Amino acid sequence: MTWKKFNGETIQLPILEEVEHAIERESNLGNKLKVCIGTDSQVKGSIIDFATVIVFLREQKGGFMFIHQERSAQKMSIKERMISEVQKSIECAYSLCDLLDLYDVDLEVHADINTNPSFKSNQALHEAMGYILSMGFVFKAKPEAFASSACANKIVQ
């Protein structure tokens, strides 16, 4: 799985090692971190572009993110696509949670799902929330889900 920095630079190390280096670097600089993970997708013809982001927030000092992109030719309903986004975020969060616990870094999983029932993505809200919460993660939906709805969204646009 290939990860990149926001500047486009490819991350050469396994993502777990890169995240640990980032945590250690920021800790040595005196920064308290929180990690937010989110995925967004965009349908482009018969292809779906997915972007998963690991957003590192420095307390009162901005942040940075790592990005993974993939494409799928599988046809999906809006609900299936929303749940696929959540699944990608959970897989990422699950792979990092032991490391984040070790360094006492808070973790949130963000779903690009609208809490307003008049939006199509709302069809997947209850399943997504149940999925994320049942895995033991903190859940955020729109408008609080900036990792998916702002950060990952910029990548798939």
Whether 39 and 89 have beta carbons less than 8 Å apart is answered as: yes
Share of the chain above pLDDT 90, in %: 89
CATH number, residue 149: 3.30.420
Amino acid present at 135: M
Instruction: Write the pLDDT tens digit of every residue in 132-148.
Output: 999 999 999 999 999 99
Alpha helices, H only, the chain: 15-28, 78-102, 125-134, 146, 153-156
Q: Which domain holds residue 16?
A: 4-156
Question: What is the overall mean pLDDT for the chain?
Answer: 95
Instruction: Write the pLDDT tens digit of every residue in 4-63.
Output: 999 999 999 999 999 999 999 999 999 999 999 999 999 999 999 999 999 999 999 999
Round to whole Å and give the CA distance between 88 and 51: 9
90 Cβ partners below 8 Å, 6+ apart?
A: 109, 131, 132, 135, 137
Task: Give the chain's domain count.
Answer: 1
Round to whole Å and give the CA distance between 150 and 38: 9
